[in-house]
Structure 1
Amino acid sequence: MNTQRRVGGAEASPAPSRRRVLGAAIAASSIEWYDFLIYGVAATLVIHSHFFPEVSSTAGVLAAFATFAVGFAGRPIGAALFGHIGDRLGRKPALLTAMFLMATCSTLIGLLPTYATIGVAAPIILVILRIAQGMAVGGHWGGATLLAVEYAPPERRAFYGALPQLGLPTGMITGTLLFLLLEEILTPGQLSLWGWRIPFLLSVVMFPVAYFVHRFIEDTPRFRQVGALLVAQVGVGAMFGPAQTMLAQMFPPEVRYSGASLGYQIANILGGGLAPLIMTALLAATGTTLAVSGYVAAACVLALIPLSLATIVRTRRRSSRQDDHAAVIENAR
């Protein structure tokens, strides 16, 4: 018996398929963010001493956080590249490629020789891998979100679109707890020598998740039916749901994957990638956390400017659509 139904002229997926897709999207997003963010924890513990030993301790931490920021610089590149793939070939190929790229880069970081072994090549390779990680995150964000949204029943698209964003705090908490656990069970010497590599090497779990997506999940019903993707509104929900909704409404459907992903990733360079570097520099220069608090407050105030402009643009577009609709009705009379 055919368990699928038609919704709004499109064939909706059965509940089991939707649950698989949502579970896979959340798992992939959690692991992806775990892979990307564990570097920030490692940077404060060991990265600076293993890859930037020729500078002072403070300068080494700053250099390590600079490589953390470099990862954010790769995110717009990944958003543009994988957004194009997602808009032309489907959500699934873009998502799978981003997942494999992230898992490969994280595993290689875990295996990377240090400065003491291969010299200046070590930080150079580290920077390259961080850029590639950023590209993977830039491509994965839109793929996981839109895969979930486009499989969702129309009345629950906001909820489905918000859930994959829980991967960010899940990945961050998991990575932090893992390092705390390693600090408890290993000696400082063991953690510095080889223990820090364990969280990166555990990234291999991404490969089974990617295989599950490849083997058991088809591309979104809407993409398979119409070719040009008509993405539903990204939902309001937990964590980044409101930002998704705003971004989704700012771009036409045929370029929404690319536009929403690229805009989100560019914003994260300033809002996220440079934050640890700036905060560390402010704390070192002033010796007080008030400077860090001032930086956060200033960033919040600056965020109000584009938010206000986006609201004005949306209001004007809505007014224009209403005028066009009224003109069509009047001509029909």
Structure 2
Amino acid sequence: MFLFEWGLLVLLSPLPVVIRVLMPVSPVATGKTLQLFPEFFSDRALISLVGSPARSFWWGYLLVWFLLIVAAARPVWQGEPIEQGVSGRDLMMAVDLSGSMEVADFMLKGHKVDRLTATKAVAGEFIERRMGDRVGLILFGEKAYLQAPLTFDRKTVRTLLDESVIGLAGDKTAIGDAIGLAVKRLKDNPKDQRVLILLSDGANTAGSIAPLQAAELAAKAGLRIYTIGIGAEEMTIRDLLGSRTVNPSQDLDEPTMRGIAEKTGGRYFRARDVRELEGIYRLLDELEPIERDKRYYRPRTELYPWPLGAALLLSGLIYLARRHQASA
């Protein structure tokens, strides 16, 4: 489908002819103008352009004017309507940045990494896959902060997650505050579209609201929460006495994490290594999408460069022709 964005400008096309007809040039004006445009006004060209070299220039100038008007009217080619792939999920992710997330008990691509690095890698890929969803990001430690509101711009959300550092929000863990912030940010969304994915490796040690109390508020608000407890169960450390095996996740409060999920109709997952963490996010990928009204868009191609380029090219040709005529 071809159309003009500013189609009314096309009405200006005959303006030079109208001016020529309604405003005939007086002999005095002709004499003055002759010095500037001799090809138009020599040999009574204003009275009759037939047979005069100026005739071709006159029509050339008219064509340049018309091409400029067409370019200014912004011609556009509009394609067929295309349905956008919008599934309708609104996913808020809450990631723990407390001091315990720096424990290096995960293996990623053959290298030992801390928990936050593993989370960035796996959760980042999860964010990239959520095409058609709006994704938001909450970072929490001693306090909870909204790092990215719900947006279709998944690339920016992943960048903000990658730029997060341990201790950015404090060394303690305020799980309840993170849930409360998610409830606040999602309260205006339809109840069946409110989902929070909360990842933590410890117990609630800070904040103004208890996690289970916050979960009750979330349940009343229709917010479904999926919780992920992250951290290995065994880790070998070396010291002066040799090596020993410890449980680096002994502070993980699984009963609370499980209770949060159960109260809100979600699920609790346990990630002891990168493989389990990847599997959890693949399961989350299978969340049934919620239908919204279908959205369509039409691909648009701007065509104004073509008439504009033609006008510039024709102007150049006229200029060269005038110089050639003058030197002849």
Shorter-chain TM-score category?
under 0.3
Q: TM-score, normalised by structure 1?
A: 0.20
Q: TM-score, normalised by structure 2?
A: 0.20
1 or 2, which has the higher strand percentage? 2
Comparing both structures, which one devotes a greater share of its residues to helix? 1
Q: 1 or 2 for the larger relative contact order (CA 8 Å, sep ≥6)? A: 1
Structure 1 or 2, whichever has the larger Rg, is 2
